[in-house]
């Protein structure tokens, strides 16, 4: 008798598990990462983008409010993840969904093995698959950790700018004889030094600062912002890395070429989003006695796509004109750029703008959703109030029949 009971319990458990397994109305029928199907481990590198594509197939009925999420654990500072918006899955229909993940540059490669989890879920059910990743650093990969400027990014004409470059080896090969160069091409100044060697990525000695480099700014340098190039040459000269920093020089102005314009640059837009265009307004007022031609330049905006409309315009005396700078960020982080307005050969204005760029989010859609919800709620409340008022109205016959008095008591 006991055996029959135990057998019955086991059978009931099996049926329950089977019912749970078949509860979902959908499944992930196919999965690819960077075009490769699930088989063994896929080799990837820190800093690489992973394009995750899945085929979602409806099995039965109709599933609403379904989402797909891809995530990777094991990163110390954040969860690497991306997810789709909600969608509907119908029986017999296959849906293609794509997500993009970006592996951090500092992802630990000590163990190499990671798992990419792809989940398909709604409020009740979850269907998941995993993809094995073998994360390995590239053979040669130096990065510029920091550029230290003394006395700072502002310097006077005729002074010396001291530069120290912090370099990190993120590859698995030891690097030797690394040439470090800094230059300001517009001022024809350049200096270089060498870092003897840097150990591989997972070694304690994989980062080091260069010797101090000296750039003497010419005494006749004109005031303005200049691009300073920081360049690394390594791997026996076969690999080059270059980044740009902005340096402002407080120098001399051309007495024979002075601008006669008042320029105003909109600077209040400091919070930007990757992939979303932001427009800055540049107003120019010609205070001179003749018509002048103005041009606009944007310096140090390699982190974004920038379009000026127009790039050149003619403004008559005592009149105004307008430039529009359309800035679309490509990289998140803290950035800056310089807006320079020229009147002929004279600098009418230079303005440095600092911005903080964030990743794109779904906040806009959520705002629209809540706005619609609030409007619907207001309409419902209004209808309820009108209905209540209509119900409380007392007719002349009610007064004649004494209804009002009775209700008061």
Which CATH number does the domain housing residue 111 bear? 2.70.50.30
On whether residue 385 sits in a domain, the answer given is no
Mean pLDDT of 206-224: 92
User: Which residue range(s) make up the domain with 277?
Assistant: 261-358
Q: Name the strand (E) or helix (H) holding 296.
A: strand 292-299
Q: Are 268 and 338 within one domain?
A: yes
Q: Are 295 and 341 within one domain?
A: yes
Instruction: Report the sign of the C-alpha dihedral through residues 356, 357, 358, 361, in that order.
Output: positive
Q: Are 90 and 118 within one domain?
A: yes
On whether residue 370 sits in a domain, the answer given is no
CA distances from 391 to 394, 403, 404 (A): 8, 14, 14
Beta bridge partners of 164: 148
Q: Are 323 and 303 within one domain?
A: yes
On whether residue 382 sits in a domain, the answer given is no
Which stretches within 61-174 are classed as H helix?
none
Q: Are 222 and 166 within one domain?
A: yes
Distance between CA 150 and CA 153 in Å, rounded?
8
CA distances from 59 to 22, 95, 328, 340 (A): 9, 12, 42, 60
Q: What's the structural domain count of the chain? A: 3
Based on the number of CB atoms within 10 Å of its own CB, is 125 exposed (0-12), middle (13-18) or buried (19 or more)?
Answer: middle
The residue out of 109, 135, 161 marking a domain boundary is 135
On whether residue 372 sits in a domain, the answer given is no
Neighbours of 247 (CB within 10 A): 21
Q: Are 126 and 171 within one domain?
A: no
On whether residue 323 sits in a domain, the answer given is yes
For residue 270, what pLDDT band results from cuts at 50, 70 and 90? confident
pLDDT(318) > 80: yes
Q: Going by C-beta distance under 8 Å and a sequence separation of 6 or more, which residues neighbour residue 221?
A: 157, 158, 187, 249, 251, 252
On whether residue 100 sits in a domain, the answer given is yes
Of 84, 83, 80, 97, residue with least CA distance to 46: 80
Highest mean predicted confidence (pLDDT) among 102-106, 192-196, 379-383, 388-392: 192-196
Based on the number of CB atoms within 10 Å of its own CB, is 180 exposed (0-12), middle (13-18) or buried (19 or more)?
Answer: buried
Give the chain's end-to-end CA distance (angstroms, integer): 73
- Tens digits of residue pLDDT in 57-98: 999 889 999 999 999 999 988 889 999 999 999 999 999 999
Mean pLDDT of 32-52: 89
Distance between CA 1 and CA 20 in Å, rounded?
29
Q: Going by C-beta distance under 8 Å and a sequence separation of 6 or more, which residues neighbour residue 385?
A: none
On whether residue 14 sits in a domain, the answer given is no
pLDDT(10) > 80: no
Q: Are 288 and 332 within one domain?
A: yes
Give the burial string for 337-374 (b: 16+ CB within 10 Å, else e). bbbbbbbeebbbbbbbbebebeeeeeeeeeeeeeeeee
Q: What is the mean pLDDT of the chain?
A: 84
**Is residue 373 helix, strand or coil?**
helix
Q: Are 24 and 61 within one domain?
A: yes
Q: Which residue has the tokens 């320079």?
A: 340
Q: Report residue 376 as tokens.
A: 């619907």
- Tens digits of residue pLDDT in 330-341: 888 888 889 999
pLDDT at 5: 55
On whether residue 388 sits in a domain, the answer given is no
261 close to 288: Cβ distance less than 8 angstroms: yes
Q: Are 197 and 293 within one domain?
A: no
Percentages (nearest 5) of helix, strand, coil residues in the chain: 15, 50, 30
pLDDT(47) > 70: yes
The residue out of 104, 135, 166 marking a domain boundary is 135
164 close to 212: Cβ distance less than 8 angstroms: yes
Local structure of residue 211 (DSSP, 8 states): P
Q: Are 171 and 278 within one domain?
A: no
CA atoms within 13 A of residue 116's CA, in its CB half-sphere: 32
Q: Are 302 and 246 within one domain?
A: no
pTM summary value:
0.60
Q: Are 200 and 303 within one domain?
A: no
CATH code for the domain in which residue 237 is found = 2.60.40.10
- Tens digits of residue pLDDT in 139-189: 999 999 999 999 998 899 999 999 999 999 999 999 999 999 999 999 999
Least confident of 142-156, 215-229, 247-261, 304-318: 247-261
Q: Going by C-beta distance under 8 Å and a sequence separation of 6 or more, which residues neighbour residue 273?
A: 329, 357, 358, 359, 360, 361
Mean pLDDT of 221-245: 92
The residue out of 135, 169, 192 marking a domain boundary is 135
């Amino acid at each position: 008798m006991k055996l029959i009971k135990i057998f019955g319990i086991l059978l009931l458990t099996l049926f329950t598990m089977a019912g749970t397994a078949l509860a979902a109305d959908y499944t992930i029928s196919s999965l690819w990462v960077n075009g490769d199907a699930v088989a063994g481990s896929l080799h990837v590198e820190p800093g690489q983008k992973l394009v995750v594509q899945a085929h979602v197939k409806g099995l039965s009925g109709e599933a609403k409010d379904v989402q797909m999420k891809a995530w990777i654990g094991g990163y110390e500072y954040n969860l690497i993840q991306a997810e789709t918006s909600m969608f509907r899955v119908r029986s017999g229909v296959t849906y293609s969904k794509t997500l993009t993940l970006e592996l951090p540059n500092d992802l630990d490669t000590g163990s190499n093995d990671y798992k990419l989890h792809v989940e398909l879920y709604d409020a009740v059910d979850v269907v998941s698959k995993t993809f094995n990743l073998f994360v390995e650093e590239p053979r040669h990969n130096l990065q510029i950790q920091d550029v230290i400027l003394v006395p700072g990014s502002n310097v006077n004409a005729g002074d010396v700018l001291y530069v120290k470059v912090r370099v990190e080896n993120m590859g698995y090969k030891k690097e030797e004889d690394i040439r470090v160069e800094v230059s300001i091409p517009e001022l024809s100044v350049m200096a270089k030094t060498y870092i003897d060697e840097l150990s591989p990525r997972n070694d304690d000695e994989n980062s080091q600062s260069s010797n101090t480099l000296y750039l003497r700014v010419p005494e006749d340098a004109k005031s303005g912002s200049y691009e300073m190039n920081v360049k690394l040459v390594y791997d026996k000269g076969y690999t080059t890395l270059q980044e740009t920093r902005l340096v402002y020089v407080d120098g001399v102005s051309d007495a024979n070429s002075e601008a006669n314009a008042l320029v105003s640059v909109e600077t209040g837009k400091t919070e930007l989003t990757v992939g979303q265009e932001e427009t800055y307004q540049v107003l120019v007022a010609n205070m001179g006695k003749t018509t002048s031609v103005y041009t606009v330049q944007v310096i140090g905006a390699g982190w974004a796509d920038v379009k000026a409309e127009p790039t050149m315009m003619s403004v008559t005396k005592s009149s105004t004109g307008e430039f529009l700078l359309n800035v679309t960020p490509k990289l998140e982080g803290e950035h800056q750029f310089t807006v320079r307005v020229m009147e002929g050969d004279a600098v009418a204005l230079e303005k440095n703008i600092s911005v903080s760029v964030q990743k794109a989010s779904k906040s806009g859609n959520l705002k629209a959703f809540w706005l619609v919800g609030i409007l619907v709620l207001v309409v419902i409340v209004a209808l309820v109030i009108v209905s209540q008022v209509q119900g409380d109205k007392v007719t002349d016959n009610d007064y004649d029949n004494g209804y009002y008095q009775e209700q008061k008591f």
